[in-house]
Amino acid sequence: MLEPRMSLLDVQRLRAHPESLNFAWAEKILGRVVSNRLYQVVWLEMLGNAKTILIDMPDYSKTDRRLFAKDLDEIFWLWNHLAVSSPKKPNMVITIQKEMFGRHFFDKMTKLELHPLRPEQMLQAYVRRFKTTSPFTEDVLLTIARMSRGIFRRFLRYITLALDMWEAQGQPQTTIDTTVVTKAITAERVAEDLEPEMQELFPKENELRLQAVQILMHLDRSGPMDQSRLGEELEMKPYTVSRILAKLELHHYIKRKRSGNDKIVILESAFEEEA
């Protein structure tokens, strides 16, 4: 009974392009269980003939690892399946947050750490892809890159947010300026993205973690400033500011330069550009 229905599908095309399967149509012809099984089979066959499989894992919560554990179990199943059934034994490359390492699963793999990109490198990547900085100006793209803290996925996300805001406003101007970027990429958005990084620096100090994010955001908006003035504008005690800045400097988020009896605080990316 199944073969006549299967003849309605271009199985060879599915093997080459499993994503082309129209599920709604396939379910009517084959039924949901059979169509799901067919989809899985052709995908596994395609992966088994690949030379390299790249799995780009999403950002995970460091406090709730259930989704992370579930995804790892499925990757482990795929790894074992290909090791047994695939004659080509494809390489598997997995990109994952550094802070999620530590499980025995990764001990079986070669680990390479990808360092954050400089703002200029992100700008070059954008221009190389689109041959122009449009609809952004070069300065605005560099601002977005600095806000991304060297993480390219975050850079793309912020670009998308700015484009969505620009289009929602009816594209009132030919280029996207800092006004649009500020509305689209809010301080709350950046703080949320910085949370995993700050958690590594201040694992048991929630208040210091939030204050560190506020300091970085303020420096990004205002530029280099005296350490004492920074504390005053953010209404933080000098001891607290000094403690946070020492940790941020140790992890290369900021630089400090002596200026008389005070220190000038500079974001790491801004310090490199100035040098």
Judgement on whether residues 86 and 125 belong to the same structural domain of the protein = no
Angle (deg, nearest 10), helices 119-130 and 138-147: 130
Q: Which range marks the domain in which residue 241 is found?
A: 189-274
Q: Quick check: is 242 in a domain?
A: yes
What does R_g of the chain's alpha carbons equal in angstroms? 24
Would you say 265 and 245 are in contact if contact means Cβ atoms under 8 Å apart?
Answer: yes
Judgement on whether residues 43 and 70 belong to the same structural domain of the protein = no
Judgement on whether residues 130 and 69 belong to the same structural domain of the protein = no
Judgement on whether residues 221 and 261 belong to the same structural domain of the protein = yes
- Domains in the chain, number: 4
Question: What pLDDT score does 133 carry?
Answer: 94
Judgement on whether residues 42 and 22 belong to the same structural domain of the protein = yes
Lowest mean pLDDT among 21-35, 150-164, 251-265: 21-35
pLDDT band at 34 (very low <50, low <70, confident <90, very high): confident
Judgement on whether residues 203 and 248 belong to the same structural domain of the protein = yes
Would you say 46 and 16 are in contact if contact means Cβ atoms under 8 Å apart?
Answer: yes
Q: Quick check: is 38 in a domain?
A: yes
Q: Quick check: is 177 in a domain?
A: no
Q: Quick check: is 173 in a domain?
A: no
| pLDDT tens column, 189-223 | 877 787 777 777 888 887 888 888 888 888 877 88
Q: Quick check: is 235 in a domain?
A: yes
| pLDDT tens column, 59-114 | 776 666 788 888 988 988 998 989 888 888 888 898 887 767 665 666 777 888 87
Question: What pLDDT score does 256 carry?
Answer: 92
Judgement on whether residues 201 and 251 belong to the same structural domain of the protein = yes
Q: How many residues does the chain have?
A: 275
Among 7-16, 155-164, 245-254, the range with the most confident prediction by mean pLDDT is 155-164
Residue 252: which residues within 8 A CB-CB, separation 6 or more?
268
Would you say 88 and 49 are in contact if contact means Cβ atoms under 8 Å apart?
Answer: yes
Rounded to whole angstroms, the Cα distance separating 159 from 157 reads 5
| Residue 126 CB coordination number (10 Å) | 20
Judgement on whether residues 155 and 194 belong to the same structural domain of the protein = no
pLDDT band at 273 (very low <50, low <70, confident <90, very high): very low
Task: Record the tokens describing residue 183, joined without a space.
Answer: 């509305």
Residue 92 φ then ψ, to 5°: -120, 120
Write the CATH number for 237. 1.10.10.10
Q: Which of 104, 135, 166 marks a domain boundary?
A: 166
Judgement on whether residues 199 and 135 belong to the same structural domain of the protein = no
Judgement on whether residues 156 and 206 belong to the same structural domain of the protein = no
Amino acid at residue number 24: A
Q: Quick check: is 174 in a domain?
A: no
Strand order in the sheet with 254-259: 225-226, 262-267, 254-259
Q: Which has the higher per-residue pLDDT, 226 or 27?
A: 226
The distance of Cα 46 from the centroid of its chain, to the nearest Å, equals 27
Degrees to nearest 5, angle at CA 15 with 14 and 20: 30
Rounded to whole angstroms, the Cα distance separating 118 from 142 reads 9
Q: Quick check: is 145 in a domain?
A: yes
Judgement on whether residues 199 and 269 belong to the same structural domain of the protein = yes
Q: Quick check: is 178 in a domain?
A: no
Judgement on whether residues 101 and 156 belong to the same structural domain of the protein = no
Taking the CA of residue 98 as centre, how many other CA atoms within 13 Å lie in the half-sphere pointing to its CB? Answer: 10
Rounded to whole angstroms, the Cα distance separating 268 from 220 reads 10
Task: Record the tokens describing residue 275, joined without a space.
Answer: 């040098």
Question: What pLDDT score does 16 carry?
Answer: 66
With a pLDDT cut of 70, the percent of the chain lying above it is 84
